[in-house]
Amino acid sequence: MKVVIVGGVAGGATAAARIRRLDEKAQIIVFERSGFVSYANCGLPYYVGGTISDERELTLQTPKSFWDRFRVDIRVKHEVMSIDKTRKTVTVHGLETGKIYEESYDKLILSPGAKPMKPELEGVRGDRIFTLRTVEDTFHIKQFVEVNRPKTVLLAGGGFIGLEVAENLIELGVDVTIVQRPKHLLGPVDEDMACQIHTLLRSRGAKLMLGKSVAGFSQQGDKVETFIKGENSIVSDMVLMAIGVIPDTGLAADAGLELGMKGSIAVNDRMETSAEDIYAVGDAVSVEHFVTGQRVVIPLAGPANKQGRIVADNVCGGDSRYKGSQGTSVIKLFDMTVATTGIKEEQAKAAGINYDKVILSPPSHATYYPGASLMTVKILYDRETLDILGGQIIGYDGVDKRIDVLATAARCGMKAPELKNLELAYAPPYSSAKDPLNMAGFMIENVETGKVKQFFYEDVSLLPRDGSVIMLDTRTPWEYDRGHVEGFVNIPVDDIRERLGELDRNKPVYVMCQSGLRSYITCRILKQEGFDCYNFAGGYRYWEMIDSERF
């Protein structure tokens, strides 16, 4: 059996190694357009910033090491130009030699990845305007930064790569401005959660221009002028285009393979394309979303590697199936961690799901042990099935392990209230006896059993200020005096029983505290006294986090 693989990064390299482990006799050829194979895309921004100092650390394998270990023929700087499905051949261009030749295959695996979006704007081809996709791109940017010592940079785009580059450049002392069309950074999180990211970046000196679009560029000497629609232009020493990626599927399209959403390669759960003996994996394909069942393009290394393994199994006569992607991801921004899994509110609404949510601010570990920090946790669930739809967590410690537990719970079909039953490792330096995810399960159970009703940030401005409802802030007077929501009066939770006479039982009561715990306790007291009571999800800390960014 002769297997040809187009693309030698995550999915392609994994498939090659797995095929060899399954079939010692197979002939395996990998064509990689760049000069590197099996490299760590996710590590590229950290080489620009110097966190990763040795360029050799960016490549997990080399053509020689692949041959020595697996006897896989890796041909870098070779671009596959076309596919002949009938003759089962590919036409290859040796980029260094100029030689063009044909290579036959029994099985063909496409792993071309995704390419940065670079719209055809005026001046976009300037030599101070960069994109970051390959190791060569990284070396180019790194060399520019070291030689030219830029003081200012404009980043067009606020996704994973853009923010990681922003962090690394800011750490180098560069003045960073981020411009992007969406009104909040980091698309996988909801706008409310993104406010915490905005605050962090601004505190580190970044300038944010959100909801704005780049219209073009003009390079004058060693400066780039970036034109912004409806705004004054910005002059910087360099520009990085990081507005997103699109599937790199020109080869597949030219071969007549069926395409899916966003021009991706359409595959089934065996990663088979519409053509016999041709498979595709990674950022170039669309797959089923594990939560919604809809077709999606999720360019992440984890899914690409899993798909590469599945293809290898099937090429070698097995029957492995891809069970869908749920988009679990994590990013470090300075000392903050942002992590997500599943879908966010916008996606739940678009899918027509009747969902609910809980928002909490638990400590990363036992508060009596030094170093505890608060996390912001938001979990969505289906009100009809109680399935976990997704979660977003932002904090400084312990975020990654909580998102992994939540992702696992969702993958295994655990119902949202059952989070309360998880038995997780506890010691004061690591967690609390009631882990944050246990607390989320308790909250969901309370909501679903009617023990508490919630109201949310978007409801606060709609509350009438005419006296027809009661709005309570149950924090201490000292906390209240430091800042509170207009219209909320202060009755501390510890005083509420003695001051029930001040409240009209005929009016609904909306209660807020710092994190949502004391207001919950207040709601339980008031409910049992005959009041119609609503607890504010997330607490004043969460309200202030959003309000300070919006206004």
Half-sphere exposure of 469 (CA within 13 A, CB side): 16
Nearest to 359, CA basis, from 189, 530, 524, 178: 189
Q: Is 412 a known active-site residue?
A: no
State how far the Cα of 514 lies from the Cα of 518, in Å rounded to an integer.
8
Angstrom distance (rounded) from CA 415 to CA 377:
17
Q: Exposure pattern of 442-468 as b/e (b: 16+ CB <10 Å)?
A: bbbbbbbeeebebbebeebeebeeeee
**DSSP secondary structure letters along 70-109:** H--EEEESEEEEEEETTTTEEEEEETTT--EEEEE-SEEE
Specify burial of residue 290 (Cβ count, 10 A radius: 0-12, 13-18, 19+).
buried
Separation between Cα atoms, residue 93 and residue 88, nearest integer Å? 17
Pairwise CA distance, residues 252 & 134, whole Å: 21
Both structure tokens of 86: 């009938």
Handedness of CA 256, 262, 266, 270 (dihedral sign): positive
The size of the chain, in residues, is: 551
Rounded Cα–Cα distance for residues 159 and 42 (Å): 13
Residues pairing with 110 in the sheet: 6, 280
Residue type for position 476 = T
Q: How many CB atoms lie within 10 A of CB 426?
A: 14
C-alpha closest to that of 236 among 85, 159, 123: 123
Backbone phi, psi, residue 524, to 5°: -65, -40
Return the bridge partners of 415, or none: 387
Amino acid at residue number 215: A
**Residues 182, 194: contact at Cβ < 8 Å?**
no
Marked catalytic residue, from 42, 412, 513, 533? 42
Give yes or no for a contact between 391 and 444, defined as CB atoms under 8 angstroms apart. Answer: no
What is the set of active-site residues? 42
